Amino acid sequence: MQYVTVQGEEVPALGLGTWELDGSDCRRAVAEALELGYRHIDTAQGYGNEGEIGQVLGTAPVDRGEIFLATKIDNSNHAPDAVRRSTEESLRRLGTDYVDLLLVHWPVEFRRLPATLEAMRGLHDDGKVRHLGVSNFTPPQLERALELAPIFCDQVEFHPFLAQSSLLELARKHDFMLTAYSPLARGAALADAVLAEIADRHHKHPAQVVLRWLLDHENVAAVPKASSRAHLESNLAVFDFSLSGEEREQIAGLDRGDRIIDPPFAPDWER
């Protein structure tokens, strides 16, 4: 397993994203991921699967201290009392005394951000949260968050068609982790001719090429969703080959600013 080191801490660079995993599918995927060697699990209050993940963590033959566990505050829980209440509920569902990373899921109430982050800092002071983060924050929003709290991570849509160059620059400058969700562009990357050609050259799958490219970036982790054992294994098999500088440039050239995840409550991405 490769690690990304930010603010002096090593985090497994490849994790399991659990968006749209629920019920027995979620339990099976998390259990198999842990069995295969995954040690970074990403969830959210809004995913509705913290309970399933907690069931697996409670019986898995893996020490809790080996797992980097992240969850996110729901959009309706930004008020300080709701931050604390909802996080404590998340901890009960997850069956743990703490999460390694607690993120603001979306900047839907950005004017309330100082109070939200202050409440999150209180949870950190109480030992219930090890690191604070945000998700789906634009570069200006991220810079504002950095003024208010020690931000460890910004989790955003990040793939070859949406290269996030501004956030990458900020991540290097301020030493926070940029976590890529939907790293395969919801499957679109699998049909790209450039990625397919590079994959053939390495006897790999296009998904593995994309993950290798992402993890070659400084300060970057990725949390692809996988529900089958075959995909879980395939995503892990990205540490036994390297991309050439020319290949990385080819992949970087695919950036079109294509954004797939853009709900009505999303921020103005251009500001």
Type of residue at 50:
E
Q: What is the pLDDT of residue 222?
A: 98
With respect to residue 129, please indicate whether it lies within any of the assigned structural domains: yes
With respect to residue 239, please indicate whether it lies within any of the assigned structural domains: no
For residue 155, the domain's CATH number is 3.20.20.100
Tell me the Cα Rg of the chain. Answer: 18
Q: What is the pLDDT of residue 110?
A: 93
With respect to residue 196, please indicate whether it lies within any of the assigned structural domains: no
- Rounded Cα–Cα distance for residues 251 and 105 (Å): 28
With respect to residue 245, please indicate whether it lies within any of the assigned structural domains: no
3-state SS, 143-195, equals HHHHHHCCEEEEEEECECCECCHHHHHHHHHHCCEEEEECCCHHHHHHHCHHH
Record the tokens describing residue 57, joined without a space: 């963590």
106 contact partners, CB below 8 Å, separation of at least 6 = 75, 135, 136, 263, 265, 266, 267
With respect to residue 2, please indicate whether it lies within any of the assigned structural domains: no
With respect to residue 50, please indicate whether it lies within any of the assigned structural domains: yes
- Rounded Cα–Cα distance for residues 90 and 44 (Å): 9
With respect to residue 210, please indicate whether it lies within any of the assigned structural domains: no
Which residue ranges of the chain lie beneath pLDDT 50? Answer: none
255: left (phi over 0), alpha (psi -120 to 50) or beta: beta
The residues that are catalytic are 47
Q: Structure pTM?
A: 0.96
For 43, the domain range is 11-183+217-228
Q: What is the pLDDT of residue 270?
A: 81
Angle between helices 229-236 and 206-215 (to 10 degrees): 50
CA 189 to chain centre: 18
Tally of domains within the chain: 1
What pLDDT, in 10s, does the model give residues 40-85? 999 999 999 999 999 999 999 999 999 999 999 999 999 999 999 9
> If DSSP codes are grouped into helix, strand and coil, which group holds residue 188?
helix
Q: What is the pLDDT of residue 1?
A: 83
